[in-house]
Amino acid sequence: MAAAGLARVLRRYGGRARCCGALRSRPTPLPAAPRRAAAHFAFEPDPAPSAYGQTQKMNLFQSITSALDNALAKDPTAVIFGEDVAFGGVFRCTVGLRDKYGKDRVFNTPLCEQGIVGFGIGVAVAGATAIAEIQFADYIFPAFDQIVNEAAKYRYRSGDLFNCGNLTIRAPWGCVGHGALYHSQSPEAFFAHCPGIKIVIPRGPLQAKGLLLSCIEDKNPCIFFEPKILYRAAVEQVPVEPYNIPLSQAEVLRQGSDVTLVAWGTQVHVIKEVAVMAQEKLGVSCEVIDLRTILPWDTETICKSVVKTGRLLISHEAPLTGGFASEISSTVQKVEVLTNGAVLLSMQCIREKSKPKAVNL
């Protein structure tokens, strides 16, 4: 969802009047805008941190490599495996790690996602740290049974005698502009229905390294989705040494008073642009929040913001129906109605059809 499209929605809701109990998930169609081949956003780097020592300029895939390097160096039981990871992976996230740590700790697997995750569960149950890569998030579905029925439930069904909490599953995620049907999906909502796992999506290199290390060290199986369009487009100053960013804590990136904008991954940069446009062109003050962790998500930060602003707009790349925006909006609606009796909601998601490869479709 491009910034201009979200700005048009804010223009419609720019007045101060509240809509009592209204859920506007499908706004009245506006005049058609010129069609674009890809959504536009400008990546704005986070300020360089000073709390973690020396920093280095890294793009997103380099920050992932740095996190994996730190994890392998710290934990002698940690192993990385997946399709082509020994050669650096299709996005180069594991480049150089086999040479540094050996073929027994960084190795290729057959093209079998169910086998990759099943093997990872076994490694984690045995007490080692398993870091599995699914080459694209679109291909995670053959492993759905292993993730949902095995990894997520292992601790519960054994009465906490056994668990596979040392399992982390990485996967490139989201739109890239030319990925077509099988290289553009955002499947986080499929897994958000399942207790027992954690789901994390970073917005840039600085966040990615800290969140990935937290996932690897967390004692629950985690799915870490990496916005592939940002692998090279996003560049920030990232600490060389390991550091952690807490899971399940949303981050308020911009304070506001009129409307709360919530997103994760790439869409965070879209709503940051929207917030600037809304302030400059409409005089609307937007509070911008990066959810960061999809499950379990930070209800307190989101609800506290909406109680303040009285309006909420959620933007994600996944389809509207059953998207995670629905979970957020229903929770906020209940909390806000009980608190103030009124809230206006809008969800901005992709049209519900497969993504074409040809730019003229």
Q: 310 and 180, same structural domain?
A: no
Report the pLDDT value the prediction gives residue 41, as an integer from 0 to 100: 83
pLDDT in tens, 140-170: 999 999 999 999 999 999 999 999 999 999 9
pLDDT at 326 > cutoff 70: yes
268 in the same domain as 126: no
Residue 148: inside a domain: yes
Q: Is residue 251 flagged as an active site residue?
A: no
Note the pLDDT of residue 359. Answer: 46
Q: Is 40 a catalytic residue?
A: no
Question: So what's the pLDDT on residue 182?
Answer: 87
* Domain match, 197 and 279 both: no
Query: What mean pLDDT is predicted for residues 121-142?
Result: 98
Same domain, 154 and 83: yes
Q: What is the pLDDT of residue 343?
A: 60
Measured CA to CA, the distance from residue 126 to residue 352 in angstroms comes to 42
95 and 228 share one domain? yes
Answer for the pair 240, 73: CB distance below 8 angstroms, yes or no. no
In a domain? residue 121 = yes
Residue 272 confidence (pLDDT) above 50: yes
Condensed to tens digits (0 to 9), the pLDDT of residues 135-146 reads 999 999 999 999
- Both 198 and 68 in a single domain? yes
19, pLDDT greater than 60: no
> Is the same domain home to 88 and 218?
yes
- Is 285 contained in some domain? yes
Residue among 83, 183, 217, 327 flagged as catalytic:
183
Predicted pLDDT of residue 24: 38
Q: What was the pLDDT predicted at 20?
A: 32
The pLDDT value given to residue 254:
98
Report the C-alpha gap between 270 and 174 in whole angstroms: 14
Burial (CB < 10 A; 0-12, 13-18, 19+), residue 32, is: exposed
Residue 346 in this model has a pLDDT that exceeds 90: no
**Pair 142, 112: CB distance under 8 Å:** yes
Q: Which of 179, 60, 84, 174 is nearest to 133 (CA)?
A: 84
DSSP string, 19-81: -TTEE-SSPPPPPPPPP-SS------PPPPPSTTS-EEEEEHHHHHHHHHHHHHHH-TT-EEE
Q: Position of tokens 């984690």? A: 124
Q: Report the range of poorest mean pLDDT among 25-29, 48-52, 195-199, 330-334.
A: 25-29
Same domain, 254 and 219: no
- Enclosing domain of residue 118: 55-239
Does residue 21 form part of some domain? Answer: yes
Give the end of a domain, one of 210, 239, 268.
239
Has residue 205 been placed in a domain? yes
CATH number at residue 299: 3.40.50.920
Report residue 37's pLDDT band, with 50, 70 and 90 as the boundaries.
Answer: very low
Q: Percent of the chain scored above 70 by pLDDT?
A: 82
Stretch 276-304: mean pLDDT: 97
Domain assignment present for residue 35? The answer is: no
pLDDT for position 178 = 78
Q: Rounded distance, CA 158 to CA 62, Å?
A: 38
Is 229 part of any domain?
A: yes
At 76, list the tokens: 């002698």
Choose the catalytic residue: 113, 150, 287, 327.
113
pLDDT digits (tens, 9 = 90+) for 58-113: 999 999 999 999 999 999 999 999 999 999 999 999 999 999 999 999 999 999 99
Domain end (from 239, 270, 292): 239
pLDDT score of 26: 46
pLDDT band of 21, cuts 50, 70, 90: very low
Do 133 and 280 lie in one domain? The reply is no
Same structural domain for residues 141 and 253? no
- Which of 216, 239, 262 is the C-terminal boundary of a domain? 239
Residue 16 has pLDDT above 90, yes or no: no
Q: How many domains does the chain have?
A: 2
For the cut 60, the answer to whether the pLDDT of residue 342 exceeds it is: no
Residue 23, pLDDT > 50, answer no
What is the per-residue pLDDT across 175-215, written as a single tens digit (0 to 9) for each?
887 778 889 999 999 999 999 999 999 999 999 999 999 99
Q: What is the overall mean pLDDT for the chain? A: 88
Residues 180 and 131 in one domain: yes
Evaluate whether residue 360 is within a structural domain: no
